[in-house]
Amino acid sequence: MITFLKAQASSLIATAVDFLTTILLVEVFQVWYLPASVTGTITGGVANFVVNRVWVFEATDERTTPQILKYFLVWAGNLGLNAGGLYLMTTYSGFSYLVSKILVSAVVGFSYNYVLQKKFVFR
């Protein structure tokens, strides 16, 4: 249970990095929401990997390269699910990009990321 709670804290940190990047790009630099969100997901993913490796799963005794490769595979799926879900929800629901991003991120985070990171990347 402690690992799950730590993973959720790590996810919140990564989400903050992701959302701040996305909002900054959309609202300040007028970037279209989809590439802004992809950039946010990338920056959040880097933050999430570092925090998960060092603090959540305490997996620093393993070599970094295999973890990065496994994380990248999981993260690529995460990126696709988030970008696709964001586009579909924003386009077809009438929600703003930010509401759509919140909803999609929550679903993907709980149903996909935690399970695969625990069982595959940092085991």
Does residue 20 register a pLDDT over 80? yes
Q: Provide the residue ranges of all domains of the chain, joining segments of one domain with +.
A: 2-121
Could you tell me which of 40, 50, 49, 52 has the C-alpha nearest to residue 16?
40
Sorted by sequence, the CB contacts under 8 Å of residue 101 that are 6+ apart come out as 19, 22, 37, 82, 86
Q: What is the pLDDT of residues 46-94, one digit of tens each?
A: 998 899 889 998 888 878 888 889 989 998 999 999 999 999 999 999 9
